[in-house]
Amino acid sequence: MNYSIKATATSKNNASIRIKDTAINFGTTKDSAETLANPAELFLSSFSACILKNVERFSDLMHFEYNTTEITVSAIRLEKPPRMDHINYELKVYSQDQTLNINLLKKNIEKFGTIYNTVSQCCTIVGDVKKISE
- At 98-133, the pLDDT tens digits run 999 999 999 999 999 999 999 999 999 999 999 999
Question: How many structural domains are present in the chain?
Answer: 2
Domain range for 3 is 1-37
Q: What is the CATH number of the domain that holds 99?
A: 3.30.300.20
Question: Confidence band (pLDDT; 50, 70, 90) for 134?
Answer: confident
Residues 43, 57, single domain; the answer is yes
**What is the per-residue pLDDT for 103?**
98
Q: Once rounded to an integer, what is the mean pLDDT over residues 38-61?
A: 97
Predicted model pTM: 0.93
Per-residue buried b or exposed e for 84-121, using 16+ beta carbons within 10 Å of the residue's own CB: beebebebbbebebeebeeeebbebbbeebebbeebee
Rounded mean pLDDT, 39-56: 97
| Same domain, yes or no: 48 and 31 | no
Per-residue burial over 55-81, b if 16 or more Cβ lie within 10 Å, else e, is beebbeeeebebeebebebebeeeeee
Residues 2 and 63 in one domain: no
On whether both 54 and 33 belong to a single domain, the answer is no
Residues 103 and 63 grouped into a single domain: yes
